[in-house]
Amino acid sequence: MTSPFYHIPYYPSFDCMTPANAAEAFERLIPEANAAVDTLEATFTPSWTGLMQPLHEACHPLYDAWGLLNHMLSVMNSDAWRRVQEAVQPKVVAFSLRVGQSKTFYSGFKHLQSADRNAPFLTAVQRRILSKAIQGAEQSGVGLAPEQQARFNAIQLQLAQLTTVFRNNVLDATKAFSIVLRTREEADGLPVALLAVTAQAARDAGETTATAENGPWKITLDIAVYQPFMMHSRNRSARETLYRAYAMRASAGQNDNTPIIEQSLALRREVATLLGYATFADLSLSNKTAKTVAAVDDLIAQLADASHEAGQREADELLAFARAHGFTEAALQPWDIAFWSERQREQRFDYSDEELSRFFPFSHVLEGLFGLASRLFDIVIAPADGEAPVWHPDVRFFRVSDTDGTPRACFFLDPYSRPETKSGGAWMNDFRTREKRPDGSVTLPMALIVCNQSVPVGQAASVMRFSEVETLFHEFGHALQHMLTTVDEPDASGVNGIEWDAVEIASQFMENWCYDRTTLKGLSQHDVTGDKLPDTLFEKLVAAKNYRAATAMLRQLFFAATDMDLYARYPRPEWADANAVKQLNAAKYSPTPLLPDDRFLCSFSHIFSGAYAAGYYSYKWSEVLSADAFAAFEEAGLDNADAVRATGRRFRDTLLALGGGTDPSDVFFRFRNRAPSVLPLLRHSGLIRDDRSTVHTR
Ligand SMILES: [Zn+2]
């Protein structure tokens, strides 16, 4: 029997994948990929079909299998999967460096580029792919002298390993911690749903008599438990224990990420120097739309200026509120903030996160989301469970087609939190990419959407917290951009080839619809009464949207500024270590002080084991564009169905269709007929009242 990782069929055999058959497949895939590349190097002709297409073909059996191996590691993590991934990784890194550093291919690219310049024959999309291939080769060290190249390769390998260890440390540290609450007094304030989930966790851990009513309840750092616990628990000392454990994850003992942080920063600095860039941030920004550190600093400063005063006011108001409701200390501690914010929100807007969540049964939310996609983009999404293998029984499968039935794409959705085996957070993986082959056949895109939302308890339908609904919309936005691409070249179709600071536009755009009346009412249905979300509650939700918006904005700016400092300006004599840089930025941006022994950087996976190194600002950069894109719908009139449909169609034909084949700034211009403005984001965040009178451009 052949391995499911070897010559992967269109629908991967997720249900048959094991660490052993993965290892077996890579034994063959690696030498075969190397041989295919060797042959191509000796035989290619410098044309699109003679070089670019066959090079893609030569690499993809290995890269596809590698993508699936990493997917399995992130959704079904175990020691056995880790061992395979760790064993294969150096060989895949070596292969990609070998391709990137091929002087033969590089001169082929250059040859093709100059031929096209003399007498243009490539499409605009192909031209962009080619120039990115040239830049990619240069940044893979194709031009380095042999000793420098050896050092460069050693660093790349080490960085890849550090990335994996960092991620595993965070996962292990998160899993390692839990507390058990045994009396109703200790569990005071916890919502019914959380009591049920944590009693189930206690039962799973051997407390066979645990019940939602009488406990015991096992509280963990799993985000689906940790967040609501911090918002609702009246047990302040348990909140402090949890908060400290969360803030200090992976900062000591076996899972300590502290040395990895300094090593990663130093290695990335060295990479930048080898390639002739002043800093790693300059290297990172050279292939993003922001282009320069100054442009990023400028965006952070603009948004911070608009938020500082409001952020301070929010902090003062929260303290005053807590004091008026029995809090007696001089200052709120970090473990008090979520709790008192939630009480203040309940009082000010008169609803609770818990009450709201009853209106969002998962199945109904999905239907509403698909209805919205159909209303905006003229597509039909149909469940097709059972038509493709899945990696876990909870995973759902769907097909996407045009309204005339033309198939467009398919996607998997793995919705629930599984802290034992699944990485935290939510993401979209672009497994299959749209591709038109020389024979005219087309591969349709396939997306893997992974969330970590609340787990259903027993027979009850799973209800979603509102923030989980927003997350689902976000990931679905990524998937839409991947699935509705019209680009035929795989290196630029879907989310491929999009500059990193523009990849969050479609995703953050979709989040806006969670505050659209028609959409939200459409996806709501009370899990007991069956009622739609009442208008009064919808209006409260909208009013509450910008509750502490400045604080939320400043938190993102704190992360973005810390990331930029670490990759553009670190080290400096006055900065003792990376942690000190984070503390300085916390003092600058956060309206309430961070815990002195906070070790957040040790779990800041985005910039140490994700793709956001010198790129965390991308969220805000994209959000400026996504807010401005949504403003086009507001201007057309959200209640005007025809106008919404027409604008949606334009959005589909530009932002969703053009993928990485066109510069993101041009794509935005085509949709909006002007350059982006920061004002819609500030207005949506309640930080300015109106942006209609003036339109500034960035
Ligand atoms: Zn995203």
- The CA 1 to ligand 1 mean position distance, Å, reads 38
How far, CA to CA in Å, does 297 sit from each of 85, 291, 302, 564, 600? 37, 12, 9, 8, 22
Residues forming a β-bridge with 211: 215
- Read off the pLDDT of each residue in 266-294 and give the average, rounded to a whole number: 97
**Residue 512 main-chain phi, psi, to 5 deg:** -55, -30
Give the position of tokens 């282009």. 291
- Alpha-carbon distance of 185 to 197, in angstroms, equals 18
Size (the chain), residues: 698
Residues contacting residue 479 through CB under 8 Å, at least 6 positions apart: 411, 428, 447, 449
The sign of the dihedral angle between the CA atoms of 18, 23, 27, 29 is positive
Tell me the two tokens of residue 361. 């049964």
Report how far apart, in Å, the C-alpha atoms of 197 and of each of 183, 221, 228, 460, 519 are.
Answer: 16, 13, 11, 12, 29
pLDDT at 456: 84
pLDDT at 8: 96
Interior angle at CA 498, CA 494 and CA 504, nearest 5 = 90
Q: What integer pLDDT is reported at residue 696 of this predicted model?
A: 37
DSSP for residue 322 = H
Distance of CA 24 from the midpoint of ligand 1 (Å)? 33
Distance CA 86, CA 439 (A): 38
Q: What are phi and psi for residue 383, nearest 5 degrees?
A: -60, 140
Answer for the pair 21, 95: CB distance below 8 angstroms, yes or no: no
Cβ contact 500:614 at 8 Å: no
Please give the pLDDT value at position 610.
Answer: 79
Distance CA 189, CA 209 (A): 22
- Answer whether 372's CB lies under 8 Å from 513's CB: yes
- The mean per-residue pLDDT over the stretch 512-534 comes to 93
Conformation bin of residue 601: beta by default, left when phi > 0, alpha when psi is -120 to 50: alpha
d(CA 144, CA 152): 9
End-to-end CA distance of the chain: 57
Q: What is the pLDDT of residue 564?
A: 98
* Distance in angstroms (rounded) separating the CA atoms of residues 677 and 682: 10
Task: Identify which of 612, 562, 576, 585 has the alpha carbon closest to the alpha carbon of residue 166.
Answer: 612
Q: What is the pLDDT of residue 609?
A: 87
Residue that the structure tokens 């550093």 belong to: 101
Q: Tens of pLDDT along 41-57?
A: 999 999 999 999 999 99
Residue at token pair 């339908």: 461
Residue whose entry in the numeric block shows the structure tokens 């739309």: 289
CB 664 within 8 A of CB 498: yes
Q: Which of 354, 435, 475, 489 is catalytic?
A: 475
Secondary structure of residue 491 in the 3-state scheme: coil
* Rg over CA atoms, the chain: 25
The answer to whether 682 and 688 have CB atoms below 8 angstroms apart is yes
CA atoms of 224 and 443, how far apart (whole Å): 36
| All residues at 6 or more sequence positions from 294 whose CB lies less than 8 Å from its CB, including other chains | none
Per-residue confidence (pLDDT) for residue 670, from 0 to 100? 97
CA pseudo-torsion sign 386, 391, 397, 399: negative
CB neighbour class for 346 (10 Å; exposed up to 12, middle 13-18, buried from 19):
middle
Separation of 180 CA from ligand 1 center, angstroms?
34
Q: How far apart are CA 256 and CA 602, in angstroms?
A: 8
The two beta strands, 446-453 and 427-432, are: antiparallel
pLDDT grade for 459, boundaries at 50, 70 and 90: low
Of 229-233, 256-260, 266-270, 438-442, where does mean pLDDT reach its minimum?
A: 438-442
Please give the distance, rounded to the nearest whole angstrom, from the Cα atom of residue 474 to the centre of ligand 1. Answer: 6
Q: Is the per-residue pLDDT at 694 higher than 70? A: no
Ligand 1 mean position, distance from CA 478 (Å): 7
**d(CA 284, ligand 1 centre) in Å:** 18
Q: Give the pLDDT band (50/70/90) at residue 697.
A: very low
DSSP classification of residue 567: I
Interval between CA 396 and ligand 1 midpoint (Å): 20
**Per-residue confidence band for 690, with pLDDT thresholds at 50, 70 and 90:** low
pLDDT by residue (tens digit) across 542-600?
888 889 999 999 999 999 999 999 999 999 999 999 999 999 999 999 998 899 999 99
Percent of the chain with pLDDT over 70: 98
pLDDT > 90: what percent of the chain? Answer: 90
3-class state of residue 323 by DSSP: helix
Distance CA 318, CA 313 (A): 9
- The pLDDT score that the predictor gives to residue 237 is 97
Cα(427) to centroid of ligand 1, in Å? 7
Confidence of residue 691 (pLDDT cuts 50, 70, 90): low
In terms of average pLDDT, the best of 94-98, 161-165, 241-245, 690-694 is: 241-245
Strand partners of residue 402? 379
Ligand 1: distance of its center to the CA of 622 in Å? Answer: 10
Q: In one letter, which amino acid is 9?
A: P
3-state secondary structure 57-94: HHHHHHHHHHHHHHHHHHHCCCHHHHHHHHHHHHHHHH
Poorest-pLDDT segment among 343-347, 420-424, 526-530, 655-659: 420-424
What is the arithmetic mean of pLDDT over 424-434? 92
Catalytic residue check, 475: yes
pLDDT at 698: 33
pLDDT in tens, 89-120: 999 999 999 999 999 999 999 999 999 999 99
CA atoms within 13 A on the CB side of 658: 22
Flag whether pLDDT at 80 surpasses 90: yes
Give the chain's mean pLDDT: 94
Contact call for residues 125 and 494 (beta carbons, < 8 A): no
Ligand 1 mean position, distance from CA 656 (Å): 15
Centre of ligand 1 from the C-alpha of residue 624, in Å: 14
Strands in 378-487 per DSSP E: 379-383, 396-402, 407-416, 427-432, 435-436, 442-443, 446-453
- Residue 693, pLDDT above cutoff 50: no
